[in-house]
Amino acid sequence: MNLAVLLGGEAPEVAPMLLGAVLTRIDDGTAVLLSEVEAYTEDDPASHSHRGPSPRNQSMFGEPGTLYVYRSYGIHWCANVVTNRRGVGEAVLLRGGSVVAGEDLAISRRGRPDHLADGPGKLCQAMGITGVHDGSNVLEGPFRLEPGIPPRHISTERIGISRARERRWRFVAVEEADPAR
DNA sequence: GAGCCGATATTCT
DNA sequence: GAATATCGGCTCC
């Protein structure tokens, strides 16, 4: 599946397709295999784009593939990949994954050897994603997204929000069946 | 492992 | 002033 075509779709449909994809940072070699994502759309009361463009969320309305990076709780950075066409505020929050390249750098950034990218803020810290990357595009760089084979996954309620909880737009890769079981 | 809490940018009321 | 798309350190099992 062509990435540009994929990202032109609607966020709730694109999100599960990004499971198994690898986000690579070209300029330092770090890469994360995505295992957890969430979809947000414009008519979604829980989405930052719900009330229209603002200085913070403008990149969420950009071209598909745009990175929307925002500061969460005043401390952490969180990254989304924008979907759908320009002018539509849809994106997929990169909620977690596992570091598959550049592990040493990820460990030094995180300051610990474990839990490198098992949360949206941690994923950004491990890859060095900050506000300066807001508005860059995964079709260009310095971040590249390579679709993989989507693993088995389940959808659940999203995390950390209070509105529109009934939209089960959190997609989590299911661990491969344990051979010992 | 579960539960509480503090840090604090940005938006909304 | 309150809420939030979080995290890490702490306590107490």
From CA A25, how far away is CA A31, in angstroms rounded?
A: 6
Average pLDDT in chain A: 91
- pLDDT tens track for A77-136: 999 999 999 999 999 999 999 999 999 999 999 999 999 999 999 999 999 999 999 999
> Which residues partner with A23 through β-bridges?
A32, A145
Å separating the CA of residue A18 from the C1' of nucleotide B1? 30
Å separating the CA of residue A119 from the C1' of nucleotide C6? 8
Nearest-CA residue to the C1' of C7? A121
Residues, CB < 7 Å to strand C: A 38, 40, 46-49, 60, 68, 70, 72-76, 78, 80, 91, 93, 110, 112, 115, 119-123, 125, 158-163
As given in the structure block, the two tokens for residue A59 are 């990149």
Backbone angles phi, psi at A106, to 5 degrees: -60, -40
Average pLDDT over residues A17-42: 95
Report chain C positions within 7 A of protein CB atoms. 3-8
**pLDDT classification of A55: cutoffs 50, 70, 90:** confident
A29 alpha carbon, distance to own chain's centre: 18
Å separating the CA of residue A8 from the C1' of nucleotide B5? 41
